């Protein structure tokens, strides 16, 4: 993914992380569920929505820009440079995904922060009226 894509992802996490838990990637949803910061019962719905969005975005790009979106921009798919092995790409993706999940789990859903708020009502702390 180019630097612009990484920056867009970072802005997305920073801007909506406190509202939605920053579920911008299936790895985030699974990471939060594994760390018990997101209910497993909600995970399938989130994963379906994320994969639907991953299919809808290039379809919308193709619809808006026609065949050039597919032939020139490859529908926004990240294509490794010539000579870069599949193993190197997989390792880079694993590291970047780990960092993304680490940041979201550590920051966006940290219960010690006043700004962090889980997106599901049952996990929100109750506020007593005194």
List, for residues 48-98, the tens digit of each pLDDT value: 999 999 899 889 989 998 888 888 878 777 788 889 898 998 898 888 888
Measured distance between the N- and C-terminal CA atoms of the chain, rounded to whole angstroms: 50
pLDDT at 111 over 80: no
Structurally, the chain folds into a number of domains equal to 1
CA 10 – CA 12 distance, rounded (Å): 5
The answer as to whether 80 is a domain residue is: yes
Instruction: Determine the structural domain holding residue 43 and report its residue range.
Output: 3-116
CB 39 within 8 A of CB 33: yes
CATH number for the domain spanning 74: value is: 1.20.1080.10
Residue 71 lies in a domain: yes
3-class DSSP assignment, residue 56: helix
Model pLDDT for residues 4-38, shown as the tens digit of each residue: 777 777 788 777 777 777 788 898 899 889 888 88
**Quick one: tokens of 116?**
């962090």
For 27, the token pair is 């790895």
Q: Would residue 125 count as lying in a domain?
A: no
Which secondary-structure segment (H or E) carries 128?
none
Given the structure tokens 């920056």, which residue do they identify?
7
Classify residue 126: in a domain, yes or no. no
Decide if 43 contacts 30 (C-beta within 8 A).
Answer: yes
Return the pLDDT at 47.
Answer: 94
Give the C-alpha separation, 79 to 82, whole Å: 9
């Amino acid at each position: 993914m180019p630097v612009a894509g990484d920056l867009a992802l970072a802005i997305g996490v920073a801007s909506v992380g406190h509202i939605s838990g920053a579920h911008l990637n299936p790895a985030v949803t699974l990471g939060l569920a594994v760390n018990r910061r997101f209910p497993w019962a909600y995970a399938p719905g989130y994963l379906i929505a994320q994969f639907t969005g991953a299919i809808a975005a290039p379809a919308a790009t193709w619809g808006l820009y026609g065949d050039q979106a597919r032939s020139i921009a490859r529908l926004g798919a990240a294509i490794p440079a010539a000579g870069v092995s599949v193993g190197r790409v997989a390792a880079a993706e694993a590291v970047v995904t780990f960092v993304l999940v680490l940041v979201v789990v550590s920051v966006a859903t940290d219960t010690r922060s006043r700004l962090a708020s889980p997106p599901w009502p049952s996990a929100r702390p109750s506020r007593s009226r005194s």
